[in-house]
């Protein structure tokens, strides 16, 4: 439904070699050609954000349309860099600058505040405590705001791509468990999904509740209900429910029914959570929150003596994909039997599809 004459594509790739990004760029270029635009006019509709200006030029984008970024900026830490250009276009320069100001405020807090009151340091220490001393497998992060529904997927990458390491910065095997599984969804929805595991499961899973105290939408009753649920879940996780309390709760039932139901309704409690309360969800507060989690990730890397700014495991998968992709069409795959079987199945499915 877009009009090619009034559409601009921003190609965001630090190396300008990321395959999935370039595939989309080539598809966009084909879309312009199919719309009848001459090659001489197509590249007016592209800009690039990259650390490799020459590679962007080779694609056809002139240097004055390349927003250069530093090569030391990791993708998951890059929203504050020129990579944030599409975000600024979406929300406007004023809101984007407020977000940057919020992040800067958290930076200053992190750099200047003593450890005992330093929010990212305390968050990191809590994570290390539950990860290494209480043997938790990870944590869940639950924003009680529909507008923050993509916050946890962002945090998935920030935390797990940074801290999923088996080697210290100097190449030695780590001496403790690092990283953890980070997952989550917006509240109240996820209360009807995986919260059962948090309350009565056999695994210890700490929770971060992120809760705006006010809403700008005028739906104050729904918002009050949402906040009440966040507070109630934190209380329930902490307090639990004893067998005696359950017996009193079921007092109106026959004794045999009480005895049958009571053990099922007992909650162990003592399940940890943090409540991160913000007065309202604004660009400034969102910037502070994101920066806090970034600094938390860095502090955990320091404690575990790992480098949170590389991701060799991700790179290895990309290298293998370059080999496998042409083999999906032709040639004799030379992999393990499992991978060869997957490639053969793909070829058979495609052969049948083309024959129909």
Catalytic residues: 161, 192, 318
* CA separation for the pair 196, 190 (Å, rounded): 10
CA atoms within 13 A on the CB side of 312: 7
Q: How many CA atoms lie within 13 A of 352 on its CB side?
A: 5
Q: Could you tell me which residues are beta bridge partners of residue 204?
A: none
The verdict on whether omega for the bond into residue 188 sits within 30 degrees of 0, i.e. cis, is: yes
Contact between 210 and 285 (Cβ < 8 Å): no
Q: What span, in angstroms and rounded, lies between the C-alpha atoms of 182 and 143?
A: 13
Q: How far apart are CA 140 and CA 39, in angstroms?
A: 49
Coil vs helix vs strand at 36: coil
Residue 329 CB burial class (10 angstroms; 0-12, 13-18, ≥19): exposed
Q: Which residues contact 134 (CB under 8 A, 6 or more apart)?
A: 204
Stated as kind and residue range, the H or E segment containing 273 is: strand 273-278
Contacts of 92 (CB under 8 A, 6+ apart): none
Angle at 213 between CA 199 and CA 116, to 5 degrees: 75
Q: Helix/strand/coil (H, E, C) string of 217-234?
A: CCCHHHHHHHHHHHHHHH
């Amino acid at each position: 439904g877009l009009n090619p004459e009034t559409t601009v594509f921003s190609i965001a790739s630090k190396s300008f070699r990321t395959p999935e990004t370039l595939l989309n760029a080539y598809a966009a270029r084909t879309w312009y050609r199919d719309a009848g635009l001459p090659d001489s006019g197509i590249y007016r509709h592209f800009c690039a954000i990259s650390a490799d200006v020459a590679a962007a030029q080779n694609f056809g984008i002139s240097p004055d349309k390349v927003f250069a970024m530093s090569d030391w900026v990791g993708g998951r830490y890059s929203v504050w860099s020129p990579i944030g250009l599409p975000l600024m276009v979406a929300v406007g320069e004023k809101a984007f600058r407020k977000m940057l100001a919020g992040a800067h405020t958290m930076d200053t807090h992190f750099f200047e505040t003593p450890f005992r009151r330093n929010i990212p340091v305390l968050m990191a220490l809590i994570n290390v405590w539950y990860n290494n001393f209480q043997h938790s497998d990870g944590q869940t992060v639950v924003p009680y705001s529909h507008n923050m529904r993509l916050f946890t997927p962002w945090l998935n990458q920030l935390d797990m791509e940074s801290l999923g390491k088996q080697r210290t910065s100097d190449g030695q095997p780590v001496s403790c468990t690092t990283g953890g599984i980070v997952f989550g969804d917006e509240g109240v929805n996820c209360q009807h999904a995986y919260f059962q595991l948090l309350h009565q499961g056999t695994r210890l899973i700490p929770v971060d509740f992120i809760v705006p105290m006010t809403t700008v939408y005028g739906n104050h009753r729904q918002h009050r209900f949402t906040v009440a649920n966040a507070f109630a879940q934190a209380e329930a996780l902490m307090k639990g429910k004893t067998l005696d309390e359950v017996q009193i709760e079921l007092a109106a039932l026959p004794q045999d029914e009480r005895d049958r139901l009571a053990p099922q309704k007992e909650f162990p409690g003592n399940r940890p959570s943090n409540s991160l309360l913000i007065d309202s969800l604004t660009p400034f507060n969102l910037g502070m929150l994101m920066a806090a989690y970034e600094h938390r990730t860095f502090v955990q890397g320091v404690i575990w003596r790992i480098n949170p700014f590389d991701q060799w495991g991700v790179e290895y998968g990309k290298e293998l994909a370059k080999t496998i992709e042409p083999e999906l069409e032709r040639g004799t795959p030379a992999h393990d039997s499992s991978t060869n079987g997957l490639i053969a199945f793909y070829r058979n499915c495609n052969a049948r599809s083309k024959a129909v």
